[in-house]
Amino acid sequence: MDASAFGKCSYSYEDYRETADWLLANTQLRPKVAIICGSGLGGLADLLENRNVFPYTDIPRFPHSTVEGHAGKLVFGELEGRQCVCMQGRFHFYEGYNIATVTYPVRVFFLLGVETLIVTNAAGGLNSSFNVGDIMLIRDHINMPGFAGQNPLCGHNDERFGVRFPCMSDAYDRELGTMARRTAEEQGCGSFLQQGVYCMLAGPTFETIAECRALQVLGADAVGMSTVPEVVVARHCGMRVLGFSLITNKVVTDYDSQQKANHQEVLQTTEMRAKDLQRLVRHMVGQL
């Protein structure tokens, strides 16, 4: 993505169409499912068969990923007989991208014909009953950047994507959630599958003790730096959404604690549990 596009605050329908048309011209696959991989979870894309791989740098108008644990590749392929597209690496506010750029791929997916979006992330556990290595099925979210006016739907609304005032009380598909819990039991993941509310902060700093305590009062079970903007845009486009947070660390809420959150810990924990999450997502896709 060139420097002028890096700071672009909005995109036209034609911009998204250009990217989608380029991808459609360069692959025979027509995915109905898109998967966005969080930090260290890009191995999900390696499960795809008959793959077509496109580095983000080769795709017209596509942003570039800059964070360790995010490979920066768009992978088309088949998973459990379903045609899918998988992002090995997403985009974040803290990379310097604005919210239109962070969510750019989701509208491209919509124009590719995607109907279901699966989002994954690495998150800190706010719920005291959660353990490191648990997988949290996202039941709902708290959009903290949205409280500050950073909502990806601000500005002109293009009806070709969705309505002006979309409902978010059903942001995470309940039928898919029920299916995920059943699949987790069948795959032996039930003992470490949790369910809860994900809260997004902008990052890149990990949270202060006071912030963690405040988020607990608000009802958040896990906290991270991504996911919510993509979910908002996906729902605006009418996609069904399923979300998973891998609990990679427990947040610090005690001033006497010597623990400190760090990104290497996040990646190490992700590596430990990644195969279980991959297995869960793979079998979920097979049932869609």
**Each residue's pLDDT tens digit, 37-88:** 886 677 888 889 999 999 999 999 998 876 655 578 999 999 999 999 999 9
Show me where the domains of the chain are located.
3-287
Q: Which of 263, 265, 271, 272 is catalytic?
A: 263
E strands along 126-265, which residues?
135-143, 193-200, 222-224, 240-250
Instruction: Indicate if 97 belongs to the active site.
Output: no
Q: What is the DSSP string of 148-179?
A: TT--TT-S---TTT--SS---TT-S-HHHHHH
Q: What is the pLDDT of residue 249?
A: 87
Instruction: Indicate if 207 belongs to the active site.
Output: no
Instruction: Indicate if 236 belongs to the active site.
Output: no
Q: Which of 5, 71, 80, 94 is catalytic?
A: 94
Q: Which of 87, 95, 220, 222 is catalytic?
A: 95
DSSP secondary structure code for residue 58 in this structure: G
What is the C-alpha separation between 162 and 55, in angstroms, rounded?
29
Q: What is the pLDDT of residue 231?
A: 98
Q: Which of 34, 65, 70, 222 is catalytic?
A: 70
Q: What is the pLDDT of residue 1?
A: 42
Low-confidence ranges of the chain (pLDDT < 50): 1-7
CA-based R_g, the chain, Å: 18
Q: Which of 100, 122, 171, 200 is catalytic?
A: 122
Q: What is the pLDDT of residue 269?
A: 66
CA atoms within 13 A on the CB side of 126: 27
Instruction: Indicate if 141 belongs to the active site.
Output: no
DSSP secondary structure code for residue 18 in this structure: H
Instruction: Indicate if 226 belongs to the active site.
Output: yes
Q: Which of 11, 87, 92, 274 is catalytic?
A: 92
Instruction: Indicate if 12 belongs to the active site.
Output: no
Quote the pTM value: 0.91
Instruction: Indicate if 52 belongs to the active site.
Output: no
Top-tier CATH class for 3-287: alpha beta
Exposure string over 64-85, b if 16+ CB within 10 A, otherwise e: bbebebbbbbbbbbbbbebbbb
- SS3 call for 265: helix
Q: Which of 20, 39, 104, 127 is catalytic?
A: 39
Q: Which of 171, 184, 222, 225 is catalytic?
A: 225
Instruction: Indicate if 5 belongs to the active site.
Output: no
Q: Which of 226, 234, 239, 245 is catalytic?
A: 226
